[in-house]
Amino acid sequence: MYFSKSFIPILKNNPTEAKIKSHKLMLRTGMIKQSSAGIYSWLPLGFKVMKKIENIVREEQNRVGVQEILMPTIQSSEIWKESGRYEDYGEEMLRFKDRQNREMLYGPTNEELVTEIFRSSIKSYKSLPQLLYHIQWKFRDELRPRFGIMRCREFYMKDAYSFDISDEEANYSYNKFFISYLNTFKRMELSAIPMAADTGPIGGNLSHEFIILADTGESKIFTDKRIFEVDSTKTTIDKNSLIKLRNDYDKFYSVTDEKFNKVKFETNVPENFRLQTKGIEVGHIFYFGDKYSKSMNASVDFNGKKEFVKMGSYGIGVSRLVGAIIEAKYDDTKEIMKWPMTVSPYDCCILPIINKNDNLNLEKANNIYNALIENKIDVLIDDTEENLSSKIKKFNLLGIPFQIIIGNNFNQQKIEFKEINEEPKYISLENIIKILKSKKIN
Ligand code: 5CA
């Protein structure tokens, strides 16, 4: 993509309405545009990042055997009346009527709809477990939408649902999501800590929030610092390996504020390991047994007996993750962002110095651009006539992790190649391609 033709509407200064750095950067670099309170359009730069995040989420769901479906955004009130949540959900639910005067709603979550799908087809315990997910827009009419896409009204979520025959099997499903979440966030270079959490309007009694530490986060957390050292790299999706991982985490007191108990915190955590801080909730998993299956009559035949299935649900804030990654990776004092390669909107940028009435550097840049594109490296080339220091300033903000700089003393064998905020290397195009390709694999 040529910068002059791209739709990346960069602002000169930080927008005054934004209070946290992710919101500032997203508006400043034209990743999103507000359309009304808590509702945003995603412009190319933001959309590319979100799609890459979505894809990582998808791959990690598939890897633990969850099957992808797509449910609609609009749901009928009928199923919510069956579960009893139509009244309970209150004003956060956006309700309206269609032309036949039927009560409809924009889905804030999908426990009811997926239960209805499940019960209409699955009749025997032999088809269990069933693990289903979709990635779809949600709407919650938040009282105070704020911080841009971090707490908005329309947001993009991955929600998954598990159906099992027993508590033990359901726990196994829960643990598969547990490890898949750790792996998902790791691929985005985020360290997300699973913390015991409240279940709120979803219900049930077992729940973990996955939290990324950040001062600007809305979740208050109380944790034992030793939890940061738990190592999940050797965990497989074997039942016992997963139980061990859960135990490794659960033995440390680590909770969100709704679950906080001062006495427990102080008795369980030695003083020097206590940490009280803030974080961003990027994922939330719930086990609620037969809460929905009973009220909605979702059962299977188990050796001639009718058994209500045991269910859990598992969310990831796909759009919120865009902001969470910025909170973790953006140095707003130096105005330098660096996207993890796995989610970066582009892999590399080319910044040629373009002299007046002289296209030579642009031609050289074009040759490199074509070679990179041929190698499936996604490149943004700055073909504007701005001077190099303002180009670098602009691209430090855009956060594309690698930069190729083409100056007047360009040498084909020693091209200036730098990772944002690091010293430049002078290497051949072949080596640049090699490095970029190796960084893309994750
Ligand atoms: N049904 C369950 C699990 S699928 C559920 O809805 N869980 S949730 O309410 O915790 O939402 C899942 C994730 O969506 C959260 O962890 C958070 O990352 C994201 N999320 C929730 N509300 C918002 C919001 N208003 N704006 C942006 N992201 C949100």
User: What confidence tens digit (pLDDT) does each residue in 118-155 have?
Assistant: 999 999 999 999 999 999 999 999 999 999 999 999 99
Q: How far apart are CA 98 and CA 102, in angstroms?
A: 5
Residue whose Cα lies nearest atom 27 of ligand 1: it is: 151
Q: What is the mean pLDDT of residues 216-222?
A: 90
Question: Is the previous residue joined to 129 through a cis bond, with omega within 30 degrees of 0?
Answer: yes
Which residues form the pocket of ligand 1, taking CB atoms under 6 Å from any ligand atom? Answer: 109, 111, 140, 142, 151-152, 155, 157, 159, 202, 281-284, 286, 313-315, 317, 320
Q: What is the distance in A from the centroid of ligand 1 to the CA of 220?
A: 16
Nearest-atom number in ligand 1 for the CA of 158 is 4
Q: How far apart are CA 10 and CA 271, in angstroms?
A: 47
Q: What is the distance in A from the centroid of ligand 1 to the CA of 284?
A: 7
Question: Which ranges of 109-166 does DSSP label H, i.e. alpha helix?
Answer: 111-121
pLDDT of residue 409: 87
Residue of 131, 155, 190 to test ligand 1 pocket, by largest number of atoms within 8 Å of CB: 155
Residue whose Cα lies nearest atom 11 of ligand 1: it is: 315
Q: What is the distance in A from the centroid of ligand 1 to the CA of 276?
A: 23
Q: What is the mean pLDDT of residues 401-406?
A: 97
pTM, to two decimals: 0.96
Q: What is the distance in A from the centroid of ligand 1 to the CA of 170?
A: 21
pLDDT of residue 123: 96
Residue whose Cα lies nearest atom 5 of ligand 1: it is: 315
Q: 372 vs 317, 338, 437, CA distance in Å?
A: 33, 20, 10
Residue of 66, 157, 285, 313 to test ligand 1 pocket, by largest number of atoms within 8 Å of CB: 157
Residue 235 has pLDDT above 70, yes or no: yes
Query: By the 8 A CB rule, do 322 and 156 touch?
Result: no
Backbone angles phi, psi at 116, to 5 degrees: -65, -40
Q: What is the distance in A from the centroid of ligand 1 to the CA of 100?
A: 31
Residue whose Cα lies nearest atom 24 of ligand 1: it is: 151
* C-alpha neighbours within 13 Å on the C-beta side of residue 196: 19
Structure tokens at 244: 């061990």
Helices vs strands, H then E, count in the chain: 13, 21
Q: What is the distance in A from the centroid of ligand 1 to the CA of 56?
A: 18
pLDDT of residue 216: 85
Nearest-atom number in ligand 1 for the CA of 157 is 14
**Close Cβ partners of 35 (under 8 Å, ≥ 6 residues apart):** 41
Residue of 212, 320, 322 to test ligand 1 pocket, by largest number of atoms within 8 Å of CB: 320
Residue 355 has pLDDT above 90, yes or no: no
pLDDT of residue 408: 86
Q: What is the mean pLDDT of residues 96-118?
A: 98
pLDDT of residue 198: 81
Nearest-atom number in ligand 1 for the CA of 280 is 18
Nearest-atom number in ligand 1 for the CA of 286 is 3
Backbone angles phi, psi at 20, to 5 degrees: -115, 160
**Tokens 């109380």 identify what position?**
222
Q: What is the mean pLDDT of residues 292-297?
A: 97
Residue whose Cα lies nearest atom 7 of ligand 1: it is: 315
Nearest-atom number in ligand 1 for the CA of 145 is 25
Q: What is the distance in A from the centroid of ligand 1 to the CA of 159?
A: 9
Residue whose Cα lies nearest atom 29 of ligand 1: it is: 317
Q: What is the distance in A from the centroid of ligand 1 to the CA of 406?
A: 44
Q: What is the mean pLDDT of residues 353-365?
A: 89
Q: What is the distance in A from the centroid of ligand 1 to the CA of 180?
A: 17
Q: What is the distance in A from the centroid of ligand 1 to the CA of 118?
A: 22
Q: What is the distance in A from the centroid of ligand 1 to the CA of 316?
A: 7
Report the share of the chain in percent with pLDDT over 70: 100
Q: What is the mean pLDDT of residues 323-333?
A: 96
* pLDDT band, very low/low/confident/very high, at 255 (cuts 50, 70, 90): very high
Q: What is the mean pLDDT of residues 317-344?
A: 97
Residue 323 has pLDDT above 90, yes or no: yes
* pLDDT band, very low/low/confident/very high, at 201 (cuts 50, 70, 90): confident
The helix-helix angle for 44-63 and 167-187 (nearest 10°) equals 140
Query: By the 8 A CB rule, do 380 and 5 touch?
Result: no
Q: How far apart are CA 81 and CA 106, in angstroms?
A: 15
Q: 22 vs 40, 220, 265, 332, 433, CA distance in Å?
A: 14, 19, 32, 9, 31
Q: What is the mean pLDDT of the chain?
A: 95
Q: What is the distance in A from the centroid of ligand 1 to the CA of 109?
A: 8
* pLDDT band, very low/low/confident/very high, at 442 (cuts 50, 70, 90): low
Nearest-atom number in ligand 1 for the CA of 153 is 25
**Close Cβ partners of 299 (under 8 Å, ≥ 6 residues apart):** 119, 293, 306, 307, 308, 309
